[in-house]
Structure 1
Amino acid sequence: MRPVNARISAVEPLLTPAELRAEVPVTDLAARTLRKGREEVARVLDGTDDRLLVVTGPCSVHDPAAALTYAERLAHLAEEVSDTLLLVMRVYVEKPRTRLGWKGLVSDPHLDGSDDVNEGLRLSRELLTKVLELGLPTGCEFLDPTVARYLSDAVCWGAIGARTVQSQTHRQLTSGLAMPVGMKNTTTGAVGDAIDAIVCASHGHVFPGIDDDGLASVIQTSGNPDCHVVLRGGASGPNYGPLDVARALDALGGAGLPRRLVIDASHGNSGKDHERQPVVVADVARRIAAGERGIAGLMVESFLASGRQELVLGEPGRLVFGQSVTDACVGWDRTTRMVAQLADAVTAGRATTVAA
């Protein structure tokens, strides 16, 4: 097909959301996990469930087999700590880039620069449904609004990233999503834009998009009442400390929003050093155990193997199984220790609340 715009080098057909859902349906088992997961996440975020939300998983999925192995382990761990923690697996299939680089499973599933987006969507949806079938809630960052149309019905918790939280397009998208969504503070560390995004997404919007048959359509939404702030640090440094949390909670209260938030142990809060994520988790766990209020959850970048590895396009066979090709992650053993630490903190925090 010859493009109209001379700077568009090719246009290829994209399967429709309806076609993909028919190929990879959300099974009854997955649908039960989906409904339960969304409801439980919302209750934790609004404080009616006193457990702690923990969203953990690889920075981005590059190998569905490794991700599913991680999911199987995490599902067993989730059962063990279900009285104190609500574990959600981070199944990120789109990767935002500051400049250039591999853009995630949806864009380049073969890791070779072939950009087989149709296959990337299939593999991503298959992985999401398989994780749900394990009884494990799923979490995704929504980057491309078109992709959300294909995958959002298999997601229990969503995120809008630091680079897109100011985007009107992403705020409108969020207003129509049927799950709780975390709004990250910007890369500068500013929280006000995330609060503005929550207020904006809580209202209905009308905007152009596509329907299930892939037709250009006018989309009308009713608003998403289940959005929250995610503190992820920024250029100015970490923002997970008690003073930063208190300031963010006051800002939320001043905007008429619930005084509850989630802390990302990675990114600016760890200085992008995966070895510092346990330091962040330990500090937050200590404060929760002491009775600090307002922290509804944490995010952790975690995979089977610690660290990261360089991806050479076209040579996926050289990769270490279960090690990130984007941001470095903590390994599985460290993950289990952090989860246990957080579970103990919730138990101690409950005792502190009763004593008070």
Structure 2
Amino acid sequence: MITPDIENINITSMAPMPSPQDLHNKLPLTEKAFDTVMKGRADLRNILDRKDKRIFVVVGPCSIHDPVAGLDYARRLKALQEEVRDTMLLVMRVYFEKPRTTTGWKGYINDPFMDDSFQVDAGMEKARQFLLDVCELGLPTATEALDPISPQYLGDLIAWTAIGARTTESQTHREMSSGLSTPVGFKNGTDGDIGIAINAILSSAHPHSFLGIDTNGNAAIIRTRGNAYGHVVLRGGGDRPNYDSVSIKIAELALAKQGLPPNLVVDCSHANSYKKPELQPLVMQDVIQQIKHGNRSLVGVMIESNIVGGRQEIPRDLSQLIYGCSVTDGCIGWEDTVEMLRAAHADLLHRP
């Protein structure tokens, strides 16, 4: 007799999840949000294709945990976009999923109430509502694709996608990226190796077939066309930065060797700033100077920024949370963000 303990022996429960279509029906894409997403994607493609001389700046909180503070930040960023629009396309960083080396808060989708109740269904709905609110402001959004199922729920509200340093080498994420509707930035490995990012670009540019879910939440064979807009994100690694002119040239040569366009984005955080958020303005200043002096491969930067600088631990009493301060990686504050973007704008006005 076959006993029931042959599978799922470490599963404690399975809870139903609404389908992507259910959530889309509940929180439908509005005309304004549609226009924001489509224009944001088109602008990003034009920058990558050199049809638009601007750079793009993916800027915002390390992670979203408070939608009120997040929307406050979005409104400020939208106003700043109007100031710098001639030289920069601002895309708000809206990260809901946080990879963890061991344990810790996994993000707004996984645990929206920050109490280990893990109400993923509520988190997904809240995440979609937040994206809708930001897009309704006319501000395009960027996120990291970590869970391969999430894009079916949220992908219609995203203009740019990142694949993190720990997942760029993952076959699952390369296949998923081949079907995403956004340009995709692949980060170099945590050891600084850009080879895995280049391989990811090559892989994701080709068609793939893999298991996933359809819009009704049913298991499906997903067949993709391939994504022509993969590019490298340099985030440093191996305890050293890689945004200096020598590292940039090495990356350009590596891309050229594979016949890929020289599109490079510099993440001002992580190893490029030695995980010290206050150093991000110096990283950006260096990148902007390279562009000002003729570099044509640097097309964008990433900045971890929030209303209040630094970071905080998640308190047991959530009412004690500091408004607008990160609960994951440290960020620069709003005043410093404005200063660094205005300075970059002034320099880029005089680029050749």
Please tell me the TM-score bracket, short chain as reference: over 0.9
Q: Which residue of 2 aligns with 1:68?
A: 71
CA offsets 1:82-114 (integer angstroms, 9 cap, x no match): 111000000001111121110000000001110
Q: Distance in 1 between matches of 2:262 and 2:269?
A: 22
Residue 80 of structure 1: how far off its partner (Å) = 1.2
Q: Which residue of 2 aligns with 1:315?
A: 317
Give the alignment's Cα RMSD to 1 decimal: 1.1
Counterpart amino acid of residue 110 in structure 2 = S
Q: Check conservation: 2:144, 2:164, Cα contact below 8 A.
A: yes
Which one is further off, 164-173 or 4-13?
A: 4-13
Decide which of 131, 156, 161 is 1:158's aligned counterpart.
161
Q: How does 1:43-54 map to 2 (within 5 A)?
A: 43-54=46-57
Does 1:195 find its partner at 2:203?
Answer: no
Name the SS for the 1:68 alignment partner.
Answer: helix
Q: Check conservation: 1:52, 1:296, Cα contact below 8 A.
A: yes
Does 1:126 find its partner at 2:129?
Answer: yes
Q: Distance in 1 between matches of 2:155 and 2:108?
A: 15
Q: Distance in 2 between matches of 1:189 and 1:345?
A: 29
Runs of at least 5 residues in structure 1 that lack an aligned partner in the other structure: none
Name the SS for the 2:200 alignment partner.
Answer: helix
Counterpart amino acid of residue 70 in structure 2 = A
Q: Which residue of 1 aligns with 2:339?
A: 337
Residue 300 of structure 1: how far off its partner (Å) = 0.1
Residue 293 of structure 1: how far off its partner (Å) = 2.1
Q: Which residue of 1 aligns with 2:97?
A: 94
Q: Distance in 2 between matches of 1:126 and 1:214?
A: 19
Residue 46 of structure 1: how far off its partner (Å) = 2.0
Q: Distance in 2 between matches of 1:258 and 1:317?
A: 49
Q: Check conservation: 1:188, 1:235, Cα contact below 8 A.
A: yes
Give % identity: 48
Q: Distance in 1 between matches of 2:335 and 2:324?
A: 13
Q: Distance in 1 between matches of 2:49 and 2:116?
A: 43
Q: Distance in 1 between matches of 2:317 and 2:205?
A: 44
Residue 245 of structure 1: how far off its partner (Å) = 0.6
Does 1:21 find its partner at 2:7?
Answer: no
Counterpart amino acid of residue 16 in structure 1 = S
Name the SS for the 2:326 alignment partner.
Answer: coil
Q: Distance in 2 between matches of 1:174 and 1:341?
A: 34
Q: Distance in 2 between matches of 1:46 and 1:265?
A: 23
Q: Distance in 1 between matches of 2:348 and 2:255?
A: 23
Counterpart amino acid of residue 134 in structure 1 = L
* TM-score of the two chains, using structure 2 as the length reference: 0.97
Q: How does 1:1-356 map to 2 (within 5 A)?
A: 4-312=7-315, 314-349=316-351, 353=352
Q: Check conservation: 1:94, 1:105, Cα contact below 8 A.
A: yes
CA offsets 1:312-348 (integer angstroms, 9 cap, x no match): 3x52211001000000000000000111122122212
* TM-score of the two chains, using structure 1 as the length reference: 0.96
Give runs of ≥4 in structure 1 deviating > 4 Å: none
Counterpart amino acid of residue 30 in structure 1 = A
Q: Distance in 2 between matches of 1:253 and 1:135?
A: 36
Q: Check conservation: 2:239, 2:274, Cα contact below 8 A.
A: no
Q: Distance in 2 between matches of 1:50 and 1:217?
A: 41
Q: Distance in 2 between matches of 1:254 and 1:15?
A: 46
Question: How many residues align structurally?
Answer: 348
Q: Distance in 2 between matches of 1:92 and 1:41?
A: 19
Q: Distance in 1 between matches of 2:9 and 2:341?
A: 53
Counterpart amino acid of residue 239 in structure 1 = N
CA offsets 1:189-231 (integer angstroms, 9 cap, x no match): 1000000000100011000100011101100000000110000
CA offsets 1:131-163 (integer angstroms, 9 cap, x no match): 111010100000000112111111000000000
Residue 292 of structure 1: how far off its partner (Å) = 2.0
Q: Check conservation: 2:266, 2:300, Cα contact below 8 A.
A: yes
